[in-house]
Structure 1
Amino acid sequence: MLKSLKKDIPASIVVFFVALPLCLGIALASGAPLFSGLIAGIIGGIVVGLLSGSQIGVSGPAAGLAAIVLTAITALGGWENFLVAVVLGGIIQIIFGVLRLGIIGYYFPSSVIKGMLTGIGIIIILKQIPHFFGYDIEPEGADSFLEASGENTFSAILSAIDNITIGSTVIGVISLLILLLWSNILIKRSKIFEIIQGPLVAVAVGIFFYLLTKANETLAIEASHLVSVPVPDGLDSFISQFSFPNFSVITQADVIITGFTIALVASLETLLCVEATDKLDPHKRVTPTNRELLAQGVGNVFSGLIGGLPITQVIVRSSANIQSGGQTKASAILHGFLLLISVLTIPHILNYIPLSVLAAILFIVGYKLAKPSTFKVMYRGGWMQFVPFIVTVVGIVFLDLLKGIGLGLAIGIFIVLFRSYKNSHFLHKEGEDVDDGKIKMTLAEEVTFFNKGAILKELDRVPQNSILELDVRNTKFLDNDIIEILEDFAYKAKERNITIKLFSQRGIVENPDSFIAFFKTEKIK
């Protein structure tokens, strides 16, 4: 345990610095109170972290829900009404977990999951370029191609180049150099550099840079380019930041529908993230998905009850945790406590952190997710691996996370159907070119309507005056659609002088009178 804490504590600090601006940025993008993002981050770290079976996953507010939240707050008549939907969403997620629906997460193709990780890595880098240069018109955490400001991902980068803030850029470059020096050289020299993480040093240098250059006209960094944590005047002011649900609207149809939507999207994002983080985990541990849905549901109930945004497991924070050496769930829980303690005790110090420093940290996270070598590996895996992968990547970059995954999944399903159509595992033909006129066709263990086209095609190619040996001895399941195809072919075979020999467990039947009647008595389901 102590050995794990030596790595979990430094990792939790890195995750804290990554999570802080994302919690605030997602709240801003959602049209919600800034403090609601911090509540979700704290609950996601402490409550979900304690209940979750994931050892390296980190939960909090997610950009994928920002558009839903933004629309729902207005549609439901206010923030307090929306919080009821968050609570309902959490309850529905708990029901999902009880019904063991977490198994859905195992049905996403590996190529799509890898595309998701790579796409998120690219979008992190692209979205952080403006912040790196001090162009902070778009809030942190945005992942859509079209931005709320009216720009898109690439036009925002061009605008950033035209609106460079010198101070932000200088400290951003210094921070990036510190991180590269730390990870590539210093960490190999002494264990002390493993305990004291590079991101912590970069943040400390960034704070000192801001304080030292406040009076310098060229290097001074304005407040709009710094972290912006709400600073309460006292205990009463702090407590007033919490909001509570208006349960009088709990029976309204639009509130219930919004709650179900939150549950569905949050569960999907969580299951995708679980699959992705399990692949990144160096120890290859497997997260119990049903328990994860239960944990997320409880987290959302708590978050909604005290005025927080909806929660999911989030890949950016989770991957930052893994890359920083996090070993157990302690790092996720500690990051939640760090958020809580810092918001209570040092919010004004947090507001000295330049956003460009945090952009430099996220550059490293993004690069490790989207290494060029990943593209080479996927390309070498063949087009059936590469196409869903690259479609997912492009979809995430040019649309958003969920749409990109949806496109990749659609392509993956199409490829599965195509392989089912073409796969000789379902249909095997022998002897077509032999002069004795015999053609052998062997059906696989399971033959479904997916194979309908392939079997029709092969049967139509059987030449006249030949003998078709149809082997179903290993077939355990034969779809009724296929039996009907064989029944129709038997009729055509008589006209084309084709002899059918049916090889089954009961022996050989020549020109069976009825395939339908035969398979009713054969031990094939």
Structure 2
Amino acid sequence: MKNKSNLFAHLKSDFASGLVVFLVALPLCLGIAMASGAPLFSGIIAGVVGGIVVGYFSSSSLSVSGPAAGLTAIVLTAITDLGAFDVFLTAVFIAGLIQLILGFAKAGSISNYFPTNVIEGMLAGIGIIIILKQLPHAFGYDKDFEGDQAFLQNDGGNTFTALFDIFNYLQLGAIVITLISMSILIAWDKVPFLKRMKLIPGALIAVVLGVVLNEIFMISGSKLAIGNEHLVSLPIPSTFQEFKSIIVTPNFAAVTNTKVWIVAFTIAIVASIETLLSIEAADRMDVQKRYTDTNIELKAQGIGNVVSSLLGGLPLTSVIVRTSANSNSGAKSKMSTIIHGFLLLVSVLAIPFVLNKIPLATLAAVLILVGYKLAKPSIFIHFWNKGKYQFIPFIATLLAVVFLDLLKGVALGIFISIIFILKGNLKRAYNFRKENYESGDVIHIDLAQEVSFLNKAAIKQTLNDIPEKSKVIIDAKDTVYIAHDILDLIHEFKTIKAVDKKIKVKLKGFKDAYELENSDDSNNHVTFEHYYDAAKRVMVKKPIGDEIDF
């Protein structure tokens, strides 16, 4: 794998951004593990592996990997169906091997076909989800787990009902800490003096101040004090035996279980698609406009999932929320991703009791600003100004991501984009020019660069509507590909229908390179019939030259 050099070239900015990503990733790893029905530490293990292992092997400068909210439903169902977590880890191990095979098979190139407006719609949708999901935490209502992105929630409610429930569970201390944290984060981006303090991220100051304030509230017996249910909740092993029990290894005896293989393929495909989408998004956010080798990324993800499974961790993908936080914090290279992984590892081993003092309200403030930067009003204005063919796929993707899920949203956006492409192709396959649509008119039909079978119906209708005794020029001088279906149609029109309706036809640009090379005509003049016969024998490469006059 490449891109291993200069990891320490931007250590100052990368350490600061890695610290921010660590603060964001910690509760997300725990929340996703909880929602997946897996041991809490399996989420932390996946976060550590995603940061250190995937971060090292990946060629992406900004992408951050870890346990993904998009896999929670799959993981929860799989653990239940397979009956044991160690059997599930076997499926994760196999999924990693499948991703390695996909990487060597260069399956990552599929990401080149994701339209920009769909990727931007996905990012804006994720931004809105982050804001909507973090608002309850900002007000002290922490019933929904950290990292949840689903519109429909496990308790039977949804994202909007949770917002209304806020008013029944207001926690004044959480609101105070959220407002102070938000003020610090905004000031850190706006005040020139603070902006120069790149080594100390605003998020760290906000977290430290949040912890200190809550400790003061608790010591003073204030009603503003935030209880443990509103703080980060990292399990603390009290004995070596408890710590040792955290590491669960795959049960390879289950490798013959058909269900294990079904789960493995499901995880591999879903995780790979989510990773490719996240990588495409990361490249869009990169101010240096670097491009990631997606085939290397699939290999890195495969290695990551193999290692994570061997250590008892959840399956992982490249994750947009953490990647966005990394980009917004000023990361310059993948060293920030690796640093975040090391910080997760060291902190959960050395200072878990300190981490458990962090208010979720402070982390909500950090994530709300991340969400805002992903879904800024200027992005909506930008695509609105680009016209409906850009805006409609963008807004459809956004809404589907918010109300359905990421993969369904992207699939819908791509589907609408393809419909628009086909519609545009049908319209632009030829240009129809005339002064008056009456008998005797000279009618120009200029074919586009590519004319496929999809254009057959439109061209057929146009030719059928040409009045008797007209003069028609069908010009293919700019055409580089024309389907045989269209050649058949034009040949039939010229030799039969045009004769019946006394229409004079001039064909321009219908000359084939194969016929030209073998022509005995000193003027290199080939009739349409010659061209048509040649084109029926070989794939049309480039129609060139003129044919006949009226």
| Alignment TM-score > 0.5, same fold | yes
Counterpart selection for 1:202 from 200, 206, 211: 206
Q: How does 1:173-192 map to 2 (within 5 A)?
A: 173-185=179-191, 188-189=192-193
**Deviation for aligned residue 1:340:** 0.2
Change (3 A) 1:169 1:252: same
**Counterpart residue identity of residue 66, structure 2:** G
The answer to whether the Cα contact below 8 Å between 2:484 and 2:535 also exists between their aligned partners in 1 is no
> How far 1:150 sits from its partner (Å)?
1.2
Residue in structure 2 matching 1:398, options 385, 403, 406? 403
Deviates more, 1:434-443 or 1:234-243: 434-443
Asked whether 1:292 is paired with 2:297, we answer yes
Is the deviation greater in 259-268 or in 213-222?
Answer: 213-222
Query: How much does 1:427 deviate?
Result: 1.2
* Contact 2:54–2:303 (CA under 8 A) maintained in structure 1: yes
Equivalenced residue count is 519
- Matching of residue 124 in structure 1 with residue 119 in structure 2: no
How has the CA–CA distance of structure 1 residues 208 and 190 changed in structure 2, closer, same or farther, with 3 Å as cutoff?
closer
| Number of the residue aligned with 1:62 | 68
Please provide the CA RMSD for this pair.
2.0
- Secondary structure at the aligned position of 1:468 is classed as strand
Distance (whole Å) between structure 2 residues aligned to residue 234 and residue 353 of structure 1: 24
Deviation digits for residues 53-108 of structure 1 (CA, Å, limit 9, x no counterpart)? 00111111111111111111111222111111111111111111101111100101
Contact kept? 1:501, 1:508, Cα under 8 Å: no
Identity of aligned residues (%): 49
Partner of 1:18: 24
What is the aligned partner in structure 1 of residue 109 from structure 2?
A: 103
1:523 and 1:136 mapped to 2: Cα distance?
Answer: 64
Q: How far apart are the structure 1 equivalents of 2:526 and 2:418?
A: 38
Contact 2:437 2:467 in 1 (8 A): no
- Listed as ranges, the matches of 1:361-440 within 5 Å are 361-423=366-428, 426-431=429-434, 433=436, 437-440=441-444
For residues 494 and 367 of structure 1, do their structure 2 counterparts lie closer, same or farther at Cα, with a shift above 3 Å needed? same
| Residue in structure 1 matched with residue 330 of structure 2 by the alignment | 325
Matches within 5 A, 1:372-521: 372-423=377-428, 426-431=429-434, 433=436, 437-490=441-494, 491-503=496-508, 504-505=510-511, 507=525, 509=527, 512=529, 517=533, 519-520=535-536
Distance in structure 1 (CA, Å) of the matches to 2:472 and 2:27 = 69
Contact 2:188 2:195 in 1 (8 A): no
Residue number in structure 2 paired with 1:278 = 283
**Structure-2 residue corresponding to 1:249:** 254
- The answer for the alignment partner of 2:345 in structure 1 is 340
Where does 1:61-100 land on structure 2 (aligned, <5 Å)? 61-100=67-106
Matched residues in 2 for 1:248 and 1:480: separation? 56
Name 1:232's counterpart in structure 2. 237
Shift of 1:429: 2.8
Distance 1:331 1:384, change over 3 A: same
- Deviation of 1:112 after TM superposition, in Å, equals 0.3
CA shift at 1:416, angstroms? 1.0
For the residue of structure 1 that corresponds to 2:432, the secondary structure is strand
Three-state SS of the structure 1 residue aligned to 2:218 is coil
Q: Could you tell me whether the CA contact under 8 Å between 1:19 and 1:317 is conserved in 2?
A: yes
**1:487 to partner: Cα distance:** 4.6
Give yes or no for contact 1:144–1:401 (8 Å, CA) kept in 2.
no
Provide the C-alpha distance between the structure 2 equivalents of 1:343 and 1:264, rounded to a whole number of angstroms: 31
1:389-447 deviation line (CA, Å, top 9, x unaligned): 00011111111212111111111111111111112xx3123345388533232323322
SS at 1:433's partner residue? coil
CA distance 1:19–1:55, change in 2 (3 Å):
same
What stretches of structure 1 of length at least 5 have no aligned partner?
none
Q: Give the Cα–Cα distance (whole angstroms) in 2 for the partners of residues 264 and 167 of structure 1.
A: 44
* Structure 1 ranges of 4+ moved more than 6 A: none
> In 2, Cα distance between the equivalents of 1:76 and 1:481?
53
- Secondary structure in 2 matching 1:194: coil
Q: Deviations over 1:9-59 (max 9, x none)?
A: 111100000111111111111111111110110000000000000011111
Partner-residue secondary structure (3-state), 1:272: helix
* Distance across 1 between alignment mates of 2:469 and 2:337: 72
Bigger mean CA deviation after superposition, 218-227 or 368-377: 218-227
1:276-317 residue CA offsets vs partner (Å, 9 max, x unmatched): 111111111111111001001100111111111111111111
- Give the distance between the partners of 2:194 and 2:126, measured in 1 at CA: 32
Match of 2:45 in 1: 39
Structure 2 SS opposite 1:134:
coil
Q: How far 1:248 moved relative to its partner? A: 1.4
* Alpha carbons 1:90, 1:298 under 8 Å: kept: yes
Rounded to whole Å, the distance in 1 between the matches of 2:389 and 2:416 is 9
CA distance in 1, matches of 2:64, 2:235: 23
Show structure 2 runs of 5+ residues with no match.
1-5, 517-524, 542-550
Report the TM-score, using the length of structure 1 for normalisation: 0.94
Query: Structure 1: how far apart are the matches of 2:206 and 2:194?
Result: 18
Q: Which amino acid aligns with 1:88?
A: I
Partner of 2:152: 146
TM-aligned CA distance change 1:240 to 1:523, over 3 Å? closer
